[in-house]
Chain A
Amino acid sequence: MVRGETQQDPLNAFITLAEIPPRAPGRLSGITVAVKDNISTRGVETTCGSRILSGYVPPYDAHVVDLIRNEGALIPGKTNMDEFGMGSSTENSGFGPARNPRDPERVTGGSSGGSAAAVASGMARMALGTDTGGSIRCPAAFCGIVGLKPTYGRISRYGLVAYANSLEQIGPMALSVADCSLLMEVISRFDARDATMQDRPYLPRLDGDIRGMRIGVPAEFFGEGVDPAVADRVRKAISVLEGLGAAIVECAMPSMEYALAAYYVTCTSEASSNLARFDGVRYGPASDYKKPWHEAFQEVRMQHFGPEVRRRILIGTFALSAGYYGKYYGKAQVAREHVREDYSRLFQEVDLLAGPTMPTVAWKIGEKSDPLSMYLADILTVPANLAGVPAASVPCGTVQGLPVGLQLTGRAFEDELVMNAAYAYEQGVKA
């Protein structure tokens, strides 16, 4: 198996190229749907972008994989990603970074960067990504495509290799809102194997009519760290929505001050527990069973986990440890409650919130060298995960030739409304 940049895959969008055939004809017949490599595919290697799962071949399909294959989709392969979803650029992949189709010297965003690059370059018509703190919306914005992080509980996570269970959702990515909406419709069928799933399938309603819709614009979404040129582009996009009949309401979301810290404490804590299973015993590269337990585990984990994964396990272990639990994990959960309350309060006055998806355009590969500066790039996307509400990124033009995303966030289980507003914008700028 040749990995990295090849003639067939110059952007390194895929970790594994494979033609997984459809099982029955349906609404996705004739359509290629690339699948992120943390979503299990029976008989096809699933690495999560990590060398610790090199050679791991799942004995079962994820529920979403079942659903798309039963609707006629052909899966062209498993897409590149930051190791276990930990990153915002796909540079943390154990198999080399993916490259942005708009400028191969730049990152795709992450962690579903391979999915975004595959769709944006035409290697797949649609893709599945996963979003724990922005991992669908960030690469959608950076590569100029549409992506939706669905409401928590709307898509089965059965077969998704867990990183931070309370935050992550599988979601659709595509060039157009209609395609993204179709894939969302297919994957939202109920599955009792995910105990957090609710039987509330997505029923698309793309008429593009947003007259009378109230759209809130929190000042904090345009705060410190947001590139003024990006802010300007997004404000112009919001005025397009206004031109289509929506009422724009200036508002405030004070919990943004600590949302990012709450997110990183929560996701690293959950990761430190979830990733304990990767010990080289049941699957993946074997640990040396002749050695003592801890020594053998440390050896295999140090050798096969990348630095960012080990850093997050370290932070999470610390945040949950006796003496620090209250200061970090406990406080983060209180902060999370305040983020939820901010959304509830705002959604009594408005139907949607709008702002930039990312504070900047795609950066150059290798440009961000310290972990904290990479974390700060997620400031605008993590609040939706903390509250479990749906959020989409829709392309809204470029800054210096690089795509900018407009982020639309809605009430829980109103993914349909979010997608309809995205559709209205997409059609509005086309007209």
Chain B
Amino acid sequence: MVSEEEVLRIAELADIGIGKEELPPFTRDFNAILDYFAVLDRVPPGEGWKAGIANVLREDRVTPSLPQEEVLALAEAAEDGYIRAPRVM
């Protein structure tokens, strides 16, 4: 069982925000889904993601980027060729 406090903490880590009234139904659904995931405990052993995967590499090639003004036009808070972001400190 995952508690409401734990759901709140994960929501905090994931930066998704969670309302007070949403917390009980989110926690209930979260636990129902985790209960279903318990079937994974019955999976026979294996290599997992390492199985059958190989890297495909190539030389780097320089190609033109998107025009700066087109990309900045998408941001609501662009200024002097930069995008304003919320403060970190």
Q: Give the CA-CA distance A335 to B11 in the complex, in Å.
A: 27
Q: Give the CA-CA distance A187 to B45 in the complex, in Å.
A: 39
Contact indicator B33/A264 (Cβ below 8 Å): yes
Contact indicator A375/B33 (Cβ below 8 Å): yes
- Residues of chain A at interface, number, CB under 8 A: 65
Q: Give the CA-CA distance A324 to B9 in the complex, in Å.
A: 15
For the A-B complex, the count of residue pairs with Cβ-Cβ distances under 8 Å equals 157
Contact indicator B87/A314 (Cβ below 8 Å): no
Chain B residues with Cβ under 8 A from A289's Cβ? 77, 84-87
> Given A272-B14, A375-B33 in contact, is the A282-B83 Cβ separation under 8 Å?
yes
A331 at the interface (CB under 8 A from B): yes
CB neighbors of A among B1-28 (8 A): 2, 7, 10-19, 22, 26
Contact indicator B74/A283 (Cβ below 8 Å): yes
Most buried by B among A307, A314, A330, A340: A314
A337 interface neighbour in B48, B84, B88, Cβ under 8 Å: B48
Contact indicator A281/B75 (Cβ below 8 Å): yes
Question: B30: shortest Cβ distance to chain A, in Å?
Answer: 7
Contact indicator B13/A334 (Cβ below 8 Å): no
Contact indicator B26/A314 (Cβ below 8 Å): yes
Contact indicator A334/B46 (Cβ below 8 Å): yes
Chain A residues with Cβ under 8 A from B84's Cβ? 281, 289
Contact indicator A340/B37 (Cβ below 8 Å): no
Q: Nearest CB to that of B13 among chain A residues?
A: A317
Q: Nearest CB to that of A335 among chain B residues?
A: B43
- Residues of chain B at interface, number, CB under 8 A: 49
CB neighbors of A among B24-83 (8 A): 26, 29-30, 32-33, 36-37, 39-49, 51-52, 56, 58, 66-67, 70-71, 74-77, 83
Chain A residues with Cβ under 8 A from B83's Cβ? 281-282
Contact indicator B33/A257 (Cβ below 8 Å): no
Chain A residues with Cβ under 8 A from B12's Cβ? 294, 298
Contact indicator A264/B37 (Cβ below 8 Å): yes
A38 at the interface (CB under 8 A from B): no
B residues with CB within 8 A of A: 2, 7, 10-19, 22, 26, 29-30, 32-33, 36-37, 39-49, 51-52, 56, 58, 66-67, 70-71, 74-77, 83-88
A residues with CB within 8 A of B: 56-57, 59-60, 192, 195-196, 257-258, 260-262, 264-265, 272, 276, 279-283, 285-299, 301-303, 305, 307, 310-311, 313-315, 317-318, 321, 327-328, 330-338, 340, 370-372, 375
